[in-house]
C-alpha cells in the first residue's frame, strides 16, 4: 500500500446517477486495499445507503490525501477551484471520451488507479487565476478560474471599450467583443477558438486574447506569472465577467478588473504513460487524414 495516500475522496458529477455504479465499485476496491474512502456529500445524496464517511468538499479538502473526480472536464474544473487552496492532488476519470483534464476511463480506472497508488504516476502542477472587480474602491466580486477569466459584451450587439495595464503600465486601449485572460490549461479552451496560442500545461504563464478586436493588430500576448493585469472599462453596455464559464457578474462603467496568478496550484496525477502531446493529437484531431471526395 502506498504511504503517500491514506484517505481517498471520491467525487462524482453532480446529479448524474450514471456515476454511482463505477464510483461504488471503485470505493469497494479501495477499501479492499485498506485505503480510507470518503464520498462527497452531493454524490452521496444520490445513494440509498453508504458505508463510507460522507463529507462536504471543504471537509474533503481538510482531510483527504487524494481526490478522484468522476465525470468530465467541467466537473474537474469545478472541483479543482474548490480544492486548490487545500493542496489536494486530483485524478480525473472520464465517463465517455477522454478529456483534457480527465484522462482515465471508467472501464480501466481500477487497473490504472491501482498502479498509480503503487507509485506509478506523474505529477503535474496547473496554474489558477484570481480576479477581483473593484467599483469605487470597493471589491464587489471575486472569482477563481482554472481555465480563464473572460470580460465579454454578452448578448449586447455593441463592442466594449477598455484599457489594459500590466503591472501598472499602460499596454493598449481596445474595442472588441471582449478579452480572455487564460492559463495554459485554458489555452486549449475558449482562448484557442479566439486565435490564442496553445501553451504547454507545465508553463507558468498567462495569456491575453482579444475576442474579435476592432483593430486586427491587437493580437494575443503572453506574460509572466508575476503580472498583475488590470482591465478598466471605458464604455459598457451589458458587459459581464465570467470565470470558467461557470460564474458571472454584471460589470458597470468604470469598473476595474484585476487578474493575478493564484498563489496555490492544482496538482493533477496522471498514469505513468500519460503524454500531453498525445492528448492534444487525439482531442484536436491533428493526425486525421482528410477524406477524399469520390
> Helix, strand or coil for residue 67?
strand
Give the cell for residue 258.
484585476
DSSP H stretches of helix in 108-195: 109-117, 190-193
To the query of whether residue 40 is one of the catalytic residues in this protein, the response is no
Displacement of CA 115 from its chain's centroid (Å):
25
Which of 16, 13, 72, 77 shows the shortest CA–CA distance to 40?
13
Cα distances (Å, whole numbers) of residue 165 to 46, 77, 173, 227, 229: 47, 28, 9, 10, 6
> CB neighbours (10 Å) of residue 185?
27
Burial of 70 (0-12, 13-18, 19+ CB in 10 A): buried
| Active-site residue (options: 40, 51, 65, 73) | 73
Which of 256, 66, 230, 242 shows the shortest CA–CA distance to 144?
242
In the chain, the DSSP E strands lie at 7-12, 36-40, 54-55, 66-71, 90-94, 104-105, 121-126, 129-135, 138-145, 148-152, 160-166, 169-176, 178-182, 206-211, 221-223, 229-235, 240-243, 247-250, 256-261, 266-271
**Are 103 and 274 in contact, with CB atoms under 8 Å apart?**
yes
Residues annotated as catalytic (active site), given as ranges:
73
Amino acid at each position: 500500500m502506498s504511504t503517500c495516500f491514506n484517505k481517498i475522496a471520491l467525487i462524482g458529477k453532480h446529479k448524474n446517477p450514471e456515476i454511482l455504479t463505477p464510483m461504488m465499485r471503485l470505493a469497494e476496491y479501495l477499501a479492499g486495499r485498506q485505503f480510507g474512502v470518503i464520498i462527497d456529500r452531493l454524490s452521496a445524496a444520490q445513494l440509498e445507503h453508504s458505508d463510507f464517511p460522507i463529507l462536504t468538499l471543504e471537509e474533503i479538502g481538510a482531510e483527504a490525501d487524494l481526490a478522484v473526480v468522476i465525470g468530465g472536464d467541467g466537473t474537474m474544473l469545478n472541483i479543482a477551484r474548490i480544492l486548490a487552496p487545500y493542496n489536494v492532488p486530483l485524478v480525473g476519470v472520464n465517463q465517455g471520451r477522454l478529456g483534457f483534464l480527465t484522462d482515465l476511463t471508467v472501464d480501466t480506472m481500477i487497473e490504472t488507479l491501482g498502479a498509480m497508488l503503487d507509485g506509478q504516476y506523474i505529477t503535474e502542477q496547473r496554474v489558477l487565476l484570481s480576479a477581483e472587480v473593484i467599483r469605487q474602491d470597493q471589491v464587489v466580486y471575486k472569482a477563481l478560474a482554472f481555465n480563464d477569466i473572460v470580460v465579454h459584451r454578452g448578448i449586447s450587439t455593441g463592442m466594449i471599450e477598455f484599457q489594459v495595464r500590466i503591472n501598472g503600465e499602460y499596454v493598449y486601449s481596445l474595442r472588441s467583443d471582449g478579452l480572455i485572460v487564460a492559463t495554459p490549461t485554458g489555452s486549449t479552451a475558449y482562448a484557442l477558438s479566439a486565435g490564442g496560442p496553445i501553451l504547454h500545461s507545465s508553463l507558468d504563464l498567462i495569456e491575453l486574447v482579444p475576442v474579435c478586436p476592432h483593430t486586427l493588430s491587437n493580437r494575443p500576448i503572453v506574460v509572466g506569472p508575476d503580472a498583475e493585469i488590470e482591465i478598466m472599462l471605458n464604455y459598457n453596455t451589458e458587459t459581464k465577467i465570467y470565470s470558467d464559464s461557470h460564474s458571472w457578474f454584471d460589470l458597470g462603467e468604470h469598473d476595474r478588473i484585476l487578474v493575478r496568478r493564484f498563489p496555490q496550484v492544482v496538482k493533477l496525477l496522471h498514469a505513468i504513460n500519460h503524454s500531453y502531446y498525445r492528448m492534444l493529437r487525439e482531442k484536436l484531431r491533428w493526425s486525421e487524414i482528410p477524406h477524399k471526395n469520390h
